[in-house]
Amino acid sequence: MFLGEPPPTQADLHFRLFGIPVRVHPFFWVVALLLGMGGRKADPLITLIWVVVVFVSIVVHELGHAFVQRYYGGRPWITLYSFGGLASCDDCDRSPRAQILISLAGPFAGFFFAGFVVSLLVALQRFEGFELDWIPVVWTPFESPPLEIGLRILMFVNIAWGALNLLPIYPLDGGRIARELFTLGNPRAGIIQSLQLSVGAAILVAVYALTRQLFFMCIMFGFLAYGSFQTLREYRNRWR
Ligand SMILES: [Zn+2]
């Protein structure tokens, strides 16, 4: 998910995974650290666990996109920065079917990752069941606090963030899927309809977050609603 690519910096970290180039912009670490420290009592160990788990989880998500991009003949690369990641590619298949599957592959890579960890919990006889919550998996808690906290963060990021990412809001994965589906149904007005849906859905999520006192989420979806609204206005002006 998320906007355009930031320009290269000297502090970029570069490596390859399964032949796919990955670049980590320094802001990725800055934002991950700030989010990791927020709300908790800035315990250094917990913050470190948070940063590592978020890093691994976002790489898994972007690899999901990149594998399907490669399946469709593209040459993908991954960029991690500020709020998340981006899987870009050259020669990518722009057909709606390919684009929808590429967008779905990110969140589902996270769901499979969480599913793999759940299967480990089952093997360890610690799995207790599912519930409707931000961390929808219940297990017998581990005595080791770092392990228990790392597991909670892993489930939260891979399941809850993945699910939020599927909401039909720009520039989340769900917003891209909605755009493809709407333009399939109506090539002329599809983009505008998907932007209208994006504004409405983002406002609903922001209001929901406010009622639950999830202020960071409220601000974030408020920004997304505003961004979609601006894009919608630009489209309308262009078509007039
Ligand atoms: Zn994504």
Tens of each residue's pLDDT in the chain, 240 residues:
445 778 888 889 999 999 999 999 999 998 888 887 765 567 888 889 999 999 999 999 999 999 999 999 999 999 998 878 889 888 888 899 999 999 999 999 999 999 999 999 999 999 999 999 989 999 999 999 999 999 999 999 999 999 999 999 999 999 999 999 999 988 888 999 999 999 999 999 999 999 999 988 999 999 999 999 999 999 888 766
Gyration radius (Cα) of the chain, Å: 19
The pTM for the full model equals 0.91
- 54 CA distance to ligand 1 centroid (A)? 14
Residue type, 19: G
Residues flanking ion ligand 1, Cβ below 5 Å: 1, 106, 173
Ligand 1 center–CA 171 separation, angstroms: 9
Rounded distance between C-alpha atoms, residue 165 and residue 84, angstroms: 11
Dist. CA 103 → ligand 1 center (Å): 6
- 39 C-alpha to ligand 1 centroid (Å): 25
Instruction: Look at residue 91 and give its three-state secondary structure.
Output: coil
